[in-house]
Amino acid sequence: RKEVEQDPGPFNVPEGATVAFNCTYSNSASQSFFWYRQDCRKEPKLLMSVYSSGNEDGRFTAQLNRASQYISLLIRDSKLSDSATYLCVVGNNRLAFGKGNQVVVIP
Amino acid sequence: NAGVTQTPKFRVLKTGQSMTLLCAQDMNHEYMYWYRQDPGMGLRLIHYSVGEGTTAKGEVPDGYNVSRLKKQNFLLGLESAAPSQTSVYFCASSPSRVVTEAFFGQGTRLTVV
């Protein structure tokens, strides 16, 4: 089983709509959780950390479910500039990256 | 503040040639990593270092060597390049291994022909 699994998509989202996706992780001892954003041909950049209590940053909401070992990201009121690949990242003794969820926001 | 800088940004090698990719960080981070990213494969860890003078193997270490002689630099070497090593290589650093984010360089696009 892969350490971090994501459905690559693409997720085609009308502008202004809400999109949500999950990733699952296999190591129950994982200690840290992040969502990274990667634009085409660019380096990954931290979008937000993910906590058990859930956290929100503007239009972005992240949740962690330790019991079921999944992390979610929700984007509200999608903008064209949200088009990117969103990488789920889980940390234990090293950072493990999912393959990413590709989001395409359509005008 | 430059963050993480990778050189070169692009390179074309012939099969069998050798080269070294340089990663430099100015954030005084202890941990440094080399990843490769291929279409449909996501980011895969090649080697990493938990401090000056230390290195460790990641998921896909074969065909690569690394050195961390100075805290700020992490070098990735290809002794005899193969077409399977055509990829985008990312270096990253973090102040600690687990609890904090990693900061990435801009990547090196390597093509082996």
Predicted pLDDT at A95: 84
Predicted pLDDT at B101: 83
Residues A37-55, mean pLDDT to the nearest whole number: 92
Going by pLDDT thresholds of 50, 70 and 90, the confidence category of residue A94 is confident
Query: CB distance from B104 to chain A under 8 Å?
Result: yes
Residue B16 C-alpha, separation from nearest chain A C-alpha, in angstroms: 26
A46, A93, A100 member nearest B97 (Cβ): A93
Between CA A64 and CA A54 the distance in angstroms is: 6
Q: How long, in residues, is chain A?
A: 107
Predicted pLDDT at A34: 94
Chain B interface, best mutation among A3, A7, A33, A94, by max B CB count within 10 A: A94
- Single-letter amino acid, residue B64: Y
| Percent of chain A scoring above 70 in pLDDT | 100
Query: CB distance from B39 to chain A under 8 Å?
Result: no
Q: Do B99 and A87 touch (CB under 8 A)?
A: no
Predicted pLDDT at B97: 64
Residues 1-60 of A with CB under 8 A from B: 8, 31-32, 34, 41-46, 49
CA dist list (Å): B2 to A44, B20, B35, B50, B74: 16, 21, 20, 21, 16
**Block mean pLDDT (10 aa), chain B, length 113:** 91 97 96 92 91 94 97 97 97 80 94 97
Predicted pLDDT at B23: 98
Q: Is A80 helix (H, G, I), strand (E, B) or coil?
A: helix
Predicted pLDDT at A8: 81
Q: Nearest CA to A73 among A37, A32, A27?
A: A37
Predicted pLDDT at A104: 95
A57-79 tens-digit pLDDT: 999 999 999 999 999 999 999 99
Residue A72 C-alpha, separation from nearest chain B C-alpha, in angstroms: 18
Predicted pLDDT at B67: 98
